[in-house]
Amino acid sequence: MKIAQDKHYINSLYYKIEQTAKYCRYLGNQVFQKLNMPLSLEEFATLDTISLYDEICQRDLAKLILKDRPSTGRILNTLEDKNYITRFADTKNNRLVRKMKLTKEGKTVLERATKLLKEYMNNLPEFLSQADIEQLEASIIKFKQGLEKEVEMNI
């Protein structure tokens, strides 16, 4: 696959995506601080994932949030400490696993953070047309799916 005709890596699509992602992360973290959110962006994304995959086990969650098992476990520790989730033992394919659910408080916090974040983001100037956004979204998904097959994730 030809990704860059330029001779320099930093002009490649890969690098541009990485840099754009950095801006996304920095902006997200800044907004979370400005809005005095009670959780971090990573914790929020994890909570949001659990809300869409109720009673998921730790390893399956790790695969979704693209973190290794130790990191996933540690985020879940803090989410449980904050009383946003509860974990309980269960089995999956006859294996002992730890599954999790959002608590009432977890749901409330998630909804509130989602609302605040969305309001903030909607107030940003529109630097891409709605059509451009949809186009970008469609092609980035295809690109991501292509990459997925090439990377060994070892989760």
Partner DNA sequence: AATAATTTGTTGCATTTGCAACAATATTAT
Partner DNA sequence: ATAATATTGTTGCAAATGCAACAAATTATT
Q: Is 102 in the site for DNA (CB under 7 A)?
A: no
Q: Which does 3 bind (CB under 5 to 8 A by kind): DNA, its own copies, none?
A: its own copies
C-alpha 44/C-alpha 49 separation (Å) is 9
Task: Answer whether 148's CB lies under 8 Å from 141's CB.
Answer: no
Tell me the C-alpha distance between 47 and 35, whole Å.
18
By a kind-dependent CB cut-off of 5 to 8 A, residue 148 interacts, out of DNA, its own copies, none, with its own copies
Establish if 151 lies at the interface with DNA (CB under 7 A): no
Q: How far is CA 7 from CA 1, 2, 3, 26, in A?
A: 15, 12, 11, 29
Cβ neighbours for 8, distance < 8 A, ≥ 6 positions apart: none
The neighbouring-strand residues paired with 87 are 100
The site for its own copies (CB under 8 A) is made up of 1-4, 7-10, 13-28, 30, 44-45, 48-49, 51-52, 66, 114, 117-118, 121-122, 124-128, 130, 132-133, 135-137, 139-153
Q: Which stretch binds DNA (CB under 7 A): 6-14, 73-81, 120-128, 141-149?
A: 73-81
Q: Which does 131 bind (CB under 5 to 8 A by kind): DNA, its own copies, none?
A: none
Q: Can you tell me the distance from the alpha carbon of 27 to that of 31, in angstroms, rounded to the nearest whole number?
A: 6
The entry of DNA, its own copies, none that residue 6 binds, CB within 5 to 8 Å by partner kind:
none
Near DNA by CB under 7 A: residue from 4, 97, 116, 117:
97
Nearest to 86 by CA among 94, 74, 96, 76: 76
Residues that bind DNA (CB under 7 A): 29, 40, 42, 57-60, 62, 67-71, 73-76, 92-99, 154
